[in-house]
Chains A and B, each alone.
Chain A
């Protein structure tokens, strides 16, 4: 049973436009959400996070939106750049010490110059 879902395995966006990556979760106990980016032959790197007490968190070109009632979050990248081309993993956890992080299957983003 997949607790974190990313229903789009891939996404292509023109450079300069907005990229929107979506994520759904099923476990209502999750209260902290993270996005990771992964380039080929590298480990995932932390990108941005959001606590369940917020509905938006922004960091430069990256904004994460959380809709708790819908159990849905999204990552917006504006403007998209070719260097953003990577696999993006949505992840979730309960905010208790050392509780494990559950990852979604990932969305492969291609930003076309």
Chain B
């Protein structure tokens, strides 16, 4: 298992601003995953963050909107840029407990509200 800490846990942001979410893991992991959960909807994978290389983005998500850093094997950041009310969501960091089985461990999430 892994213990994952996210900051901030929640924030209220103004339209047009950007916010960076931090994710810290208590052990070294190869890949970290960023998910979004919009209100009343499922968890959608935004991107996979690899240490030492650029993040891999899923369809519908672009680096300019969601830049990701992965400076080492225990830390990653996700920035939500130029926010609009549609970006109001819970953003979740996760790591894989088993690459072949897909079991994921999640942080507690960062709830963003964009006014």
Chain A residues at the B interface, C-beta cutoff of 8 Å: 4, 32, 34, 36, 41-46, 49, 89, 91, 93, 95-101, 103-106
Closest residue to B1 on the A side, CB-wise?
A46
Does chain A have a CB within 8 A of B101?
Answer: yes
A43 to B107, Cβ gap below 8 A?
A: yes
Closest residue to B44 on the A side, CB-wise?
A103
In the bound complex, how far is the Cα of B43 from the Cα of A101, in angstroms?
Answer: 10
For B58, list chain A residues within 8 Å (CB): 100
Closest residue to A39 on the B side, CB-wise?
B108
List 4 A-B pairs, minimum CB-CB distance, nearest first.
A43-B106, A93-B102, A103-B43, A105-B42
A43 to B101, Cβ gap below 8 A?
A: no
Among B97, B103, B109, which residue has its beta carbon within 8 angstroms of that of A43? Answer: B109
Interface majority SS on A: helix, strand, loop or mixed?
loop
Given A43-B94, A46-B104, A49-B103: A101 in contact with B109 (beta carbons within 8 A): no
Interface pairs (24), CB distance under 8 Å: A4-B42, A32-B101, A34-B102, A36-B104, A41-B108, A41-B109, A42-B108, A43-B94, A43-B107, A43-B108, A44-B92, A46-B97, A46-B104, A49-B102, A49-B103, A95-B100, A96-B100, A97-B100, A98-B96, A99-B102, A100-B33, A101-B104, A103-B44, A105-B40
